Amino acid sequence: MTTNLLYIGKSKSFLTQFGKLEDVQLIYAKDHKDAITICINLKTRENIIILYEQGNLKEDVENITLFRKKFYQGYVVLVTGGLKKEESAAYLKSGINDTISPNISKEELIQKIDLINKRQELLYISNRKKKVVKRFILPRWKRFFDITFAGIALIVLSPVFLIISLAIRLESKGPVIYKAKRVGTNYNIFDFLKFRSMYNNADKHLKELTDLNQYKSEDGTATEPKGFSDDDLDGFLIGDDGVILVSDDFIIPEEVFASKRNSEQDQPFVKIEKDPRVTRVGRFLRKYSLDELPQLINILKGDMSVVGNRPLPLYEAERLTNDDSIDRFMAPAGLTGLWQVEKRGDPGRLSAKERKELDLKYSKEFSFGMDMKILLKTFTAFIQKGDV
């Protein structure tokens, strides 16, 4: 690859001495303004070394600083016979990377160019590896609405909370509310709250459910959801630090997930139709989405919003980290969202691809108006005709 060596200065002896170096294109510029024009017209600016001939300190510092503002790329070397301490500091501050002697030999210059090119290449590779992490900041209007809505809803629905809690306790043993680790906005992990809707020892039924995964692929294959019921979640979640991976309806040991991950990349969502593990109370709660009510507490805490993309279980989120899917996490996580109101009451099935597309659409287009439309549609979409 050819290196562009741009010499800025009045002396042309450098051109005469080093004008025919192999793989080096030597270009002359009379001053910094001329150099800026030349740099702008170059096809590539990655492989360029600027040799700046020392002159008056004040003028040099001003010119180099201006050059750096206009053209921050490239490696700037000061051609100098020697510098005082204060001069070195001034030139360094203006943007000089290195110095060479005007009496440098051809061999030394070639070696210097080679070292600079290697340095620039390593720097380029390092910068490519550093991912620019986008962070979503929740708009103030949305946070204000979340607090107002969740606060009023919790007060108004407090009798409903009490009735549901008693019904769950009377039908089956176990905690009324369980915590599940979920991934929300900016990949933040939080404790996601739901009313328990499954029997104890529900894992005994799991082998019967392989063909019931709503999000299985078109060829009919589905992942057998090996794991434990949500009744046991509290015991597993304490101190596990992510060893147990949590889904909507069960938890799965990390090693089991790891062994099946490669064959499941196209199925990041798991949902079971007519799940026999669900209690009678739980089926009623799910039908009207009442099992989601404890998430009003999550909203007050700031873990999620009223409207947004559904927070995902850890192992589902882990499979949505490619460029096409990552943007769904750069948006509010929510209690209800676009795909819920568009598909929840639809007798047809919601594919994993459709769900991802709707999540991405919301992340790019969400607004106060869209949130209000989704919220209004949510009140008419409680009954899930597909009984899922």
Hey, what CATH class is 3-129 in? Answer: alpha beta
Dist CA 358 CA 346 (whole Å): 15
> Of residues 194 and 328, which shows the higher confidence score?
194
pLDDT at 222: 42
Please, what is the average pLDDT of the chain?
Answer: 76
Question: What does the pLDDT average to over 268-286?
Answer: 74
Dist CA 342 CA 361 (whole Å): 12
Query: pLDDT tens digits, residue range 18-32?
Result: 767 777 878 888 888
Q: Where are the domains of the chain?
A: 3-129, 141-378
> Are the CB atoms for 57 and 90 separated by under 8 Å?
yes
Res. 44 pLDDT band, cuts 50 70 90: low
Question: What does the pLDDT average to over 257-263?
Answer: 50
Question: Is 250 a residue whose pLDDT tops 60?
Answer: no
Res. 68 pLDDT band, cuts 50 70 90: confident
Considering the chain, what percentage of its residues have pLDDT values greater than 70?
68
Model-level pTM? 0.52
Considering the chain, what percentage of its residues have pLDDT values greater than 90?
23
Query: pLDDT tens digits, residue range 149-202?
Result: 999 999 999 999 999 999 999 998 888 998 888 989 988 889 999 999 887 665
Res. 231 pLDDT band, cuts 50 70 90: very low
pLDDT at 134: 64
